[in-house]
Amino acid sequence: MKEVTLKQIAENLGISITTVSKALKNYPDVSKKTKALVKEEAKKLHYKPNVFAVNLRTKQSKTVGLIIPEVVHHFFSSVVNGIIEHAEKKGYLVIILQSNESYKLEQKQIDLLISKRVDGIMISLASNSTDISHLQEVRDLNIPMVMFDKISKLIDCSKIIINDRKAAYVATKHLIDSGCKRIAHFRGALLPQNSIDRFLGYKKALEDHGIQYDPSLVYICERVDYKDGIEAAKKLMSEHDDIDGLFCITDLVAIGAISVFNDNGIKVPDDISIMGFSNWFISSAITPSLSTIDQPGYKMGKATFKTLLKEMKAKRKELPFKPITKVLETKLVVRNSTK
């Protein structure tokens, strides 16, 4: 049971390997008759080109790499969804790696992808990635790369993002518009740009609407998850009793907070209005359903791959490529956790 190769077909037909190869790829200097013959024989033998040889010869793998902080995560899995669907359509396969929010791992994985010779790399940074020499290496090797969501401004490459600051502004403004006067904010860790930007949007909205910014109303959620939300809410309750609005950096944090309020007889949204962020789909399934900002994960994945594709094409044709930055629209989603 041997592999079917060009050689095999050539021998069967009594012609050269060259002609077989060219016939299968519709080169103009092969007669219609031979083309038909070759194609028929290829089909008969179930010929499939050996990708290993093709890769070696063409110097491309038709494979792209994707690094995300977490796989088990609604937003990122939506991005993955958008990416692999469009990649497959264009004949590319996707290798997925998870940095676990670790800078060290991220660095290793970049090396892995480079040594695997993927045609391009898509990455959303780990929160603690401040050193970016590994990313610079990708640029230096002239490997197409697109960053999305969690990006670094220090690297010159294409970027697909949302305007976190603006979105947070809209979220906070919605709380203000619905009558909230004392609005707390559960923010993320101090370093990640997302966390900073959302905080700044919150602050700006307050200031623009005549509400004094009060640092004691801002709580830090390091891991930005359900438990963080619970703890921050408990702390908030013990330290303040006049809060009527809360903007959380994540739906998950918001859900944690809601559960605390539910347990303590604080009515949402009557006593306190709550905004989440992401529109993780479970936010429509809790009680009360959560008002939030829709973060378009699928679209981001799609745009990320399409941009990478352009860059890969340009590279193959040895054309210059100017990195672009695309800002995707977010949407305010009003449900029952706000008035």
The footprint of DNA (CB under 7 A) covers 3, 5-7, 15-19, 21-22, 24-25, 29-34, 47, 49-50, 52-54, 56-58
77 binds a copy of itself (CB under 8 A): yes
What SS3 state is found at 334? coil
CB of 89 to DNA, least distance (A): 21
Task: Specify the residue, 169 or 186, whose C-beta has the smaller distance to a copy of itself.
Answer: 186
Round to whole Å and give the CA distance between 231 and 215. Answer: 18
45 binds a copy of itself (CB under 8 A): no
Task: Specify the residue, 46 or 322, whose C-beta has the smaller distance to DNA.
Answer: 46
Q: How remote is the C-alpha of 250 from its chain's centroid?
A: 16
CB of 144 to DNA, least distance (A): 19
Round to whole Å and give the CA distance between 259 and 286. Answer: 10
Angle at 128 between CA 125 and CA 132, to 5 degrees: 60
Q: Which of 36, 285, 327, 334 binds a copy of itself (CB under 8 A)?
A: 285
Q: Which of 50, 130, 264, 325 binds a copy of itself (CB under 8 A)?
A: 50
Rg of the chain over all Cα atoms, to the nearest angstrom: 26
Round to whole Å and give the CA distance between 92 and 311. Answer: 14
CB of 14 to a copy of itself, least distance (A): 27
Which DSSP state fits 30? S
CB of 11 to DNA, least distance (A): 11
Q: Which two tokens stand for residue 294?
A: 């829709």
The entry of DNA, a copy of itself, none near residue 43 (CB within 5 to 8 angstroms by kind) is none
Beta strands in the chain (DSSP E): 63-68, 93-98, 120-123, 145-148, 158-162, 183-187, 218-220, 245-248, 273-275, 292-294, 325-328, 331-333
CB of 119 to a copy of itself, least distance (A): 12
User: Interface residues with a copy of itself (CB under 8 A)?
Assistant: 48-53, 55-56, 59, 61, 63, 71-74, 77-78, 80-81, 84-85, 88, 93-98, 109, 112, 114-117, 226, 252, 255-256, 259, 262-263, 281-282, 284-287
